Chain A
Amino acid sequence: MFEPVLLRNVDVPDGHLLSTYEAGGGYKALAKVLREHTPDEVVELVKQSNLRGRGGAGFPTGMKWGFVPKRADKPKYLCCNADEGEPGTFKDRIIMERDPHQLIEGLAVSAYAIGAETAYVYVRGEYVAAIRRLEQAIAEAHEKGYLGENILGSDFKFAVHIHCGAGAYICGEETAMLESLEGKRAQPRLKPPFPAVAGLYASPTVINNVETLACVPHIVMRGAHWFRAIGPDKSPGPKLYCISGQVRKPGLYELPMGIPLRELVENHAGGPLPGRRIKAVIPGGVSAPLIPESGLEVGMDFDSLAAVGSMLGSAGVIVIDDSTCMVKVATRIVEFFHHESCGKCTPCREGLNWAVKVLRRIEAGEGAPGDLEQLERLCKGIFGNTFCALGDGAAMGLRAALEHFRYEFVAHIEERRCPFH
């Protein structure tokens, strides 16, 4: 029987308060590492757990921490990516609003492991309720000695600051986030150097997602073996799945990594709306290529989804039923990336503008022969030719719609109208 850990407090009244968190064993992981473990041992523990980053890319967290130089002339920084702009995704908001101490303890343990004394939590500015809860939780933790100087009687000191974003999806890309934190326009940096070596203010920096950090105290308390025993060996652990769209029970679900997409949507989220059938599902936020109904047996983990040409991404599962026009969905996805392109790379900036114009024309019944080939050429010109993955996300999403629902695009062009209107 799977026991949820990340969401155990979110439906508890006053789950956001320190007293609730402590009553459930909160901050014991911080006390344990400070008392019993060296920083290197914590890094090793996280490596053994095989925790992979929950922000989208799925990079092994312990390995990322291991890249931070042991000795550095400059201070090291920990940044929490709480920008959460991927459409279909809302998991980090719920952790911050309803169980913010879980994140703060994760930050403290992680900072101890990498040798950082300062963390910035980069929260998207729209999340006002989450920001207030975090502010309150930081003050509580500070008062109780979980943050500040000589934490729990040790010589570890650590401060957490909130940095509010101002509405730019690109800030979720880690190097763009660093630029934004430095007070610049959020445009991605060329790598290398990687942030672990030269990140914020050119200092060694680790950037982790909210959910990733929230996993860390549980790994400390329950052990790497417990974590690895959940889900597939190559991408183990409990996972938060955000379910939205045309489905009976949208919401946030904690289940093992690797659960079949069909089981997630039909059993846990209640399946399609009355009288409807599922047409396609986007498994990991709009950057993740959609999967047609026939492919829903796939496991929800990094490797299984990659094997079928999609990705786990942020695990923002969007359900689309048979009442929906796929040209419209594809257009809206590409419009999003076009709007959010930071403008640094020409293929993304110009290519997405062009693709949006062609898609809007097709949807309006004014498509021309050759438009689909034009869209495919644009995808080819964008994919792999940009600094960051924003352009890739748009190209992959559009390619998947063209591949699986080409007949809908063709019908729009041939009938000179949207068959769904």
Chain B
Amino acid sequence: MSMREKIKQAAARYPDQRSAIMPALLIAQKEHGHLPGPVLEEVADILGVERIWVYELATFYTLFHTEPVGMFHLQLCDNVSCMLCGSEALLKHLETALGINKGETTPDRLFTLSTVECLGACEMAPVMQVGDDYHGNLDNGRIDALLAALRREAGQATGADLAAAVPPGE
């Protein structure tokens, strides 16, 4: 199903097309990896809504990325429960292991490292979200194993997957 069809299908759930902007942006981001201006405009055109409404949402909600992120977005929770269980030390470990600071992407565009507010999985703190998956009860050893597994996964990924992680023009 094309992105347009997926968005149209999601929009059918609402009596007002404006309500479909958020689901449409999630679909578009899944398709494009992030949400550059032309994609936002395409979403507005598909739904027939004001472009400014789409821009407003894309810049308000933290799950929308108007800038590119790496193939794997490592989102470490550092809110209170995770902080009490050692997320601060884990962040330092991740920064050293990846050679980047939080908020940055590795030069090979494989990993983006972020800290996020509560992921709602405090029973397995400290916790990190990678793509759709949660990884909990983390320690340095588990982080190292996870990074190795992700690197292996990238090695097995197709050239198209890797190209998708590189923003146009770079």
Contacts and interface: CB of A to CB of B under 8 A. Distances in A.
Contact of A183 (B53, B64, B118, B125): B53
Interface in B53-71: 53, 56-57, 60-64
Interface of A: 84-90, 92-93, 124-129, 161, 163-169, 180-186, 201, 242-246, 250-252, 282, 286, 316, 318-320, 324, 328-329, 332-333, 336, 339-340
B23 A182 contact: no
A339 B49 CA distance: 29
A318 B122 contact: yes
A371 to B, nearest CB: 22
A183 B63 contact: no
B143 interface: no
B interface, by DSSP: helix, strand, loop or mixed? mixed
A interface, by DSSP: helix, strand, loop or mixed? mixed
B89 interface: no
10 contacts: A89-B120, A125-B26, A166-B26, A167-B63, A169-B117, A183-B22, A185-B60, A186-B60, A245-B84, A318-B84
B80 A332 contact: yes
Contact of B85 (A87, A125, A128, A246): A246
Q: Select the residue from B21, B78, B84, B125 with max chain A CB neighbours within 10 A.
A: B84
B48 interface: no
A128 B119 CA distance: 11
Given A166-B25, A243-B123, A318 B80 contact: yes
A286 B120 CA distance: 12
A148 B170 CA distance: 50
B19 interface: yes
B119 to A, nearest CB: 6
Nearest to B132: A128
A117 to B, nearest CB: 12
Cβ-closest 5 pairs across A and B: A166-B61, A244-B122, A183-B18, A167-B62, A87-B118
Contacts of A125: 26, 63
Nearest to B137: A250
Contacts of B64: 166-167
Contact of A85 (B19, B20, B21, B120): B120
B13 interface: yes
Contacts of B21: 183
Interface in B27-66: 49, 53, 56-57, 60-64
Nearest to B21: A183
